[in-house]
Amino acid sequence: MEKSNIIAFPPLPSVARGSVTDQVYRHLRDGLMAGRFAPGQRLTIRDLAEALGSSPTPVREALRRLQAEGAFEFSGTARLSVGQLSEGQLRDVRDARVALEGLLAERAAARMTCVDDAEVRQLYGRLQAAADAVEVTTYLWTNFSFHRRIYQIARAPMILSAVENFWLLIGPCFVLVAADADHLQRSMEAHRQILDALLDRDAPAARAAVTDDIMQAANCLSRVLDKAAKECSVAKTQAKDMPA
């Protein structure tokens, strides 16, 4: 893996060793949820430590925690890859997200304040600007921030924690579809519906808009994965038919 493929993270402040491990863990976890890594992407502890401005030990300890959560797979003492989901697992994640995120959106709509309105509006504006410019990294990070801020308003930390566990697994997949300008604009239509429902304090509409957003992304991702699987199958067939 070329070092240029490792996205730089903000430097970590000088704190106690245990705190460094916790910060590295949170940085990597947020990065996975926000689509900073791609499924199957190969990484090294050394490169991640350099990107995070940390020594290898806290990175290794944080990765062990993330491996236990299904986010990374180790293939050697220092090499690892981002986890990949099967089609069945993707469907399960989609269905769980629809149920849990829909519930959080409903609760958020009932608990929004004027301060919340302003914060969500601002995130929506940044998200639209990133979509218009097709700035993939900025879009994915802001999309993550937009949804998490809304769900925090619901004040249901146990449900949000469960949702983040699913984001940890599905987040890397978003890289596969985010470069599509048409997909970004379709997604922004759903985000506009989410924003309008929240501002109107319309809980059922908020649930419906979040569901639409999740389903659109899932359907687009399914098409991408299906196309990749077919291309892989063709390549294998052609390789098998080639003379020795």
What is the pLDDT at residue 240? 58
- 92/198 same-domain check: yes
43 shares its domain with 120: no
| 130 part of a folded domain | yes
Which of 43, 59, 82 terminates a domain? The answer is 82
Give the pLDDT score at 12: 47
Q: Check whether residue 51 and residue 159 sit in a common domain.
A: no
The answer on 180 and 126 residing in a single domain is yes
Interval 124-138 mean pLDDT:
95
Q: Tens of pLDDT along 164-200?
A: 999 999 999 998 888 888 889 999 999 999 999 999 9
CA–CA separation, 100 and 40 (whole Å): 27
pLDDT at position 241, please? 56
pLDDT at 106 over 90: yes
Write out the residue range of the structural domain in which residue 128 sits: 87-219
Better-scored residue on pLDDT, 33 or 228: 33
pLDDT of residue 126: 97
204: confidence class by pLDDT, cuts 50, 70, 90: very high
Residues pairing with 72 in the sheet:
82
Q: Domain end: 82, 106, 137, which one?
A: 82
pLDDT at 4: 45
Cα(147)–Cα(161) distance, integer angstroms: 13
Confidence grade of residue 136 (pLDDT, cut at 50, 70, 90): very high
Boundary (domain end) residue, out of 40, 66, 82: 82
- The pLDDT of 126-148, averaged and rounded, is 96
| 91 and 211 both lie in a single domain | yes
Asked whether residue 106 falls in the same domain as residue 173, the answer is yes
For residue 173, being part of any structural domain is answered with: yes
Rounded CA separation 73/55 (Å): 21
H-run or E-run covering 74: strand 72-74
- Domain check: are 100 and 211 in the same one? yes
Per residue, what are the HEC states of 103-154?
A: HHHHHHHHHCCHHHHHHHHHHHHHHHHHHHHCCHHHHHHHHHHHHHHHHHHC
Asked, for residue 17, whether it belongs to a domain, the answer is: yes
pLDDT in tens, 214-244: 999 999 888 887 765 565 454 445 555 555 5
**Residues 186 and 102 reside in one and the same domain:** yes
Number of domains in the chain: 2
C-alpha 138, offset from chain centre: 12
pLDDT surpassing 60 at residue 64: yes
| pLDDT, mean of residues 112-138 | 96
Average pLDDT, the chain: 87
| 224 in a structural domain | no
Residue that has been written with the tokens 């506009």 in this structure? 192
Helix/strand/coil for 79: strand
226 within domain boundaries:
no
Whether residue 99 sits in one domain with residue 77:
no
Residue 235 lies in a domain: no
Task: Answer yes or no: do 45 and 125 share one domain.
Answer: no
Predicted TM-score of the model (pTM)? 0.83
CA pseudo-torsion sign 5, 39, 130, 165: negative
> Can you list the pairs that 211-218 forms with residues at least 24 positions away whose Cβ atoms lie under 8 Å?
211/98, 211/102, 213/187, 214/94, 214/97, 214/98, 214/101, 215/94, 215/98, 216/183, 216/186, 216/187, 216/190, 217/174, 217/177, 217/187, 218/90, 218/91, 218/94
Whether residues 103 and 210 fall in one domain: yes
Q: Residue 2 — very low, low, confident or very high, per pLDDT cuts 50/70/90?
A: very low
pLDDT of residue 237: 54
Residue 6's identity, in one-letter code, is I
